[in-house]
Amino acid sequence: MTNEKKTEYRAPALEKGLEILELLALEEEPLTKKQIAEKLDRSVNEIFRMLSVLIDKQYIEFDNDSSVYSLTLKMFALSNQHPPVAQLLKRAQPLMEELSLKLTQSCHLSRYVNGELIVIARAESPYKMGFGLRLGASLDICASGSGVALLSFSVEEKRQAILSKIDATEDERKNTLSHMQEAVAKGYFVGVSPQISGVTNISVPILGVQGDVMAVLTIPYMTLNSATIHHHIEDIEHALIEILYVAQKLKQNIEI
């Protein structure tokens, strides 16, 4: 019965549009019309009109110089208009900017949505050098502090659902899950970045009123030499105190 209903109510044009959006979301680089058609196993004529509609609706954009298509941030913006998330973002941005200014470190807020851990807010370090992530970036759940925090503070059912959708080796999964017990006991995760040398991730979950992980706040703490940059650098211990304070402020804001 279920399969019959799915066939009866198919919407081919909508399916093509969704396939294009999903493809561009997964690709690291923009794609040409021909590449999109080949990857979707469709003809160029089949996707031509849909590409035009998606451009008109501002879901994708076309670069005239290189003739490639890429996603805009429209879907990202729409997903963040849900009241609790919008409220969180409104409160988070000034607190994150203040945090970065105090510590001379960048920070970012990420949220798990549609199978991906996405950066939904960020604040750059005021110093001329630093490590930061772009808005809308998709994080590797099994290779990031944010991912460890997400998995650690999610209920078992949600954790298994997240793990079932990620592309990670067995060793990466085991290594990530090995940090869970300590993270839960402490209420946060601190660990050396498995991807960037000289960076220590400090990640704190922002829990909703029902205990679910609404977002994860992370400082990718970059080791700097205060003797050569000629100004005071806050250590990791102080950075942890400051990020926990901001996380608590955000949690209180959600509960109001």
**Domains of the chain from N-terminus onward:** 2-72 (1.10.10.10), 77-255 (3.30.450.40)
What residues contact residue 96 under an 8 Å CB cut-off, 6+ apart? 107, 108, 109, 121, 122, 123, 217, 246
What pLDDT was estimated at residue 67? 93
Amino acid letter, residue 159 = R
What pLDDT was estimated at residue 5? 45
What pLDDT was estimated at residue 119? 93
Low-confidence ranges of the chain (pLDDT < 50): 1-6, 256
H-assigned helices in 70-169: 74-79, 83-103, 145-152, 156-165
What tokens appear for 241 in the block?
A: 């105190």
What pLDDT was estimated at residue 3? 47
Across-strand partners of 202?
190, 219
According to DSSP, the β-strands at 68-71 and 107-113 are unpaired
What pLDDT was estimated at residue 231? 66
Rounded to whole angstroms, the Cα distance separating 164 from 156 reads: 12
The pTM is what?
A: 0.69
What pLDDT was estimated at residue 2? 46
Taking the CB of residue 106, how many other CB atoms lie within 10 A of it?
Answer: 23
